């Protein structure tokens, strides 16, 4: 049986699959659960939470680095990056723009409130410990 938790604190430690991660939001935690579900179903090979920081060489002011939320390993031995954002503030938009400029061979997908509005209702029924805020 799938459970759905109401969580009042957004950030905190969660154990998802065999990983213990510190999530900064309920959305990050739920997306990690979604990725674990995909891994369990063998749709993806694996995922990691914040495994790598990307530096923007030559930038001296403002955003000098970027830490994407998730690295997703596909079954064909490739990978892509996921950023979970409820609201894309100017600093975050700059980081993403610079990431795409400095690392053009890295693929990045943005998961936003529209993704959660579209998917949360059905996913909380099938993914264990799905949180609502």
The enclosing domain of 81 has a CATH number of 3.40.1350.10
What is the predicted pLDDT for the residue at 7?
A: 47
95: left (phi over 0), alpha (psi -120 to 50) or beta: alpha
Residue 133 has pLDDT above 90, yes or no: no
Whether 24 is covered by a domain: the verdict is yes
Residue 22 has pLDDT above 50, yes or no: yes
What is the predicted pLDDT for the residue at 57?
A: 95
Q: What are the tens digits of pLDDT across the range 77-97?
A: 999 999 999 888 999 999 999
Contacts made by residues 92-95, CB under 8 angstroms, sequence distance 24+: 94/62, 94/63, 95/63, 95/65, 95/66
Domain hosting residue 51, numbered range: 12-128
Task: Tell me the pTM.
Answer: 0.89
Whether 38 is covered by a domain: the verdict is yes
Whether 56 is covered by a domain: the verdict is yes
Question: Which of the four pLDDT bands, split at 50, 70 and 90, describes residue 70?
Answer: very high
């Amino acid at each position: 049986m799938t459970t759905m938790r109401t969580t009042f604190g957004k950030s905190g430690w969660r154990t998802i699959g065999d990983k213990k991660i510190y999530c900064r939001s309920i959305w990050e935690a739920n997306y990690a659960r979604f990725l674990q579900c995909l891994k369990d179903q063998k749709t993806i090979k694996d995922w990691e939470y914040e495994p790598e920081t990307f530096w923007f060489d030559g930038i001296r002011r403002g955003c000098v680095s970027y830490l994407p939320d998730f690295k997703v390993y596909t079954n064909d031995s490739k990978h892509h990056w996921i950023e979970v954002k409820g609201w894309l503030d100017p600093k975050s938009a700059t980081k993403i723009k610079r990431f795409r400029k400095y690392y053009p061979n890295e693929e990045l997908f943005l998961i936003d409130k529209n993704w959660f509005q579209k998917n949360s209702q059905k996913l909380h029924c099938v993914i264990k410990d799905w949180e609502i805020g």
